[in-house]
Amino acid sequence: MKKAELVFIPAPGMGHLLSTLQFAKRLLDREDCFSITVLVINAPFGPTNHGLVQSIAASDTRVRFIHLPQIDPPPKELFFRSVEKFITDFIEKYRSHVKEAIINHVLSASLPLAGLVVDMFCSSMIDVAHELGVPSYVFFTANAAIFGFMLYLPTRHDQVRIEFRETDPESVIPSYVNPVPPGALPSFALNKEGGHISMANHGRKFKEADGIIINTFSELESHAVSSFFNGIIPPIYTVGPIIDLEGKTPSGDKQAKHEEIMKWLDDQPPSSVVFLCFGSWGSFGEPQLKETALGLERSGHRFLWSVRLTSQDDYLAKPTDAQNLEQILPPGFLKRTRGIGMICGWAPQVEVLAHKAIGGFVSHCGWNSILESLWHGVPIATWPLYAEQQTNAFQMVRDLGLAVELKIDYRLGSSMLVMAEEIEKAVRCLMEADSEVRKRVKEMSEKSREAVIEGGSSYASLGRLIEAIMANNTVLRGSE
């Protein structure tokens, strides 16, 4: 089979970049007919992705990276009004840089360009593919149900012309089994500052692509996937779960923390520990931390709790590990729970979820975290914070029966306080040894592993994608 070049354009968020690179590796492991170039867009502010990219480039020389120039982002005020609008506008500014990089560094090489693989936030790059006369494929890092919601957005917008409202009735959305209440909608659906229309425009643009690649597997989201066959959209390829099972090798302070956490888990009984972790942007104020501590203590279960605090000086800075816990948590809490609990800051999530001591996961319901927990057979108690996490929580609890409801409609920055009684009840339910949810999660864990090996649904779907890309490449070669 003749070789061909694919250009990947991930969004600058860490979760998007890592998922994209994991997919690129899977593609290369499966088929050596591809050469892959990744165009790196750095985060608009804060630390760049250079360190991460350098470490990946050193470990896998099959992927080539081209760093695009840093450009001025939209005003910071827009970020606070709508993250989705901000990211969309920021990435659109890169169109000319993307086209220039491809012309100068890819088309000038000997291999033919088989297409662009663009992130869900990079739908404007589909126009670049059109201009270059090559196919485009959307790599959707979230789940199939949310993809269906984004296809639904432009249709609804054309009909009613306004955003969703908190007073709206439940919405019947084809990719969800049950009607979705407004409290479970993604935050962007309710956003009047450009978030709603930005995501509706992405949904509209997706239909112009030559294929949609989704990080899910058909056994998990059979209803959502089957709902796509009722409309005129590009072919769908479910290729997940795509997760980083190795994790990042910690260094410096993180290495010592990593060893301390894993040693503590080694000393705990099997399936006895509930793990609380809320992603790289997850943090709470002191009143909520106090309630969480009381709920954990009253549950009587062992716990590993990642506690992180937001900077009071820079709201765009990532949360940092909490200091002076004695002053933040209830008096005597640390002393009373010394034998059964461990509080950490950063935690090696993938390795923790894989540990035999973990019996449950209180999670923000980011899609990568959900896939990791299902892979390892660890049931979730839902505590969403932002973006589409409320809708993920709704789907996991109501549509799929794969999670315990702690909260579905919680939103970061709201005045809502989740009380100790609610946390205690959810943790007790989560840690139940023979619960129906635990059984369903164990079954889905087996299906997730079967999906990606030969004979599995995602393995077959990836094969169809490769055939489609190479068929398009043959057509392109013939038209030269």
Do the first three CATH levels of 4-240+452-479 and 253-444 match, i.e. the same topology? yes
pLDDT at residue 67, as a whole number? 94
pLDDT band at residue 56, thresholds of 50, 70 and 90? confident
Query: Domain spans of the chain?
Result: 4-240+452-479, 253-444
Nearest to 9 by CA among 62, 89, 73, 67: 67
Residue percentage of the chain with pLDDT more than 90: 79
pLDDT average, residue stretch 259-287:
94
Q: With 80 as the cut, is the pLDDT of residue 477 above it?
A: no
What average pLDDT score do residues 430-455 get? 97
Average pLDDT over every residue of 151-179:
96
Rounded mean pLDDT, 128-156: 97
Q: Look at residue 254 and tell me whether its pLDDT is greater than 70.
A: yes
Q: What is the pLDDT of residue 323?
A: 77
Backbone phi and psi for residue 256, each to the nearest 5 degrees, phi listed first? -65, -40
C-alpha closest to that of 40 among 26, 51, 28: 51
Question: Which has the minimum average pLDDT: 247-256, 263-272, 394-403?
Answer: 247-256
On the question of pLDDT at 152 being above 60, the answer is: yes
Contact criterion met (CB below 8 Å) for 441 and 379: yes
Q: For residue 313, is pLDDT > 60?
A: no
- Rounded to an integer, the average pLDDT of 3-25 is 92
pLDDT at 35 over 80: yes
The model's pLDDT over 337-366, given as tens digits with 9 standing for 90+, comes to: 998 999 998 899 999 999 999 999 999 999
Regarding predicted confidence, which is higher, 416 or 312?
416
At the second CATH level, the architecture of 4-240+452-479 is 3-Layer(aba) Sandwich (3.40)
- pLDDT for residue 248 is more than 80: no
Hey, how many other C-beta atoms are within 10 angstroms of the C-beta on 470?
Answer: 17
pLDDT tens, residue by residue, 167-200:
999 999 999 999 999 999 999 999 999 999 999 9
Measure the CA–CA gap between 480 and 470, rounded to whole angstroms. 15
Q: Band of the pLDDT at 220, cuts 50, 70, 90? A: very high
Structural tokens at position 47: 């630390």
pLDDT of residue 249: 64
Whether the per-residue pLDDT at 252 is higher than 90: the answer is no
So what's the pLDDT on residue 311?
Answer: 62
253-444 placed in CATH 1.10.3720.10: no
Res 305: pLDDT: 97
Tell me what pLDDT residue 109 has. 80
pLDDT number for residue 308: 87
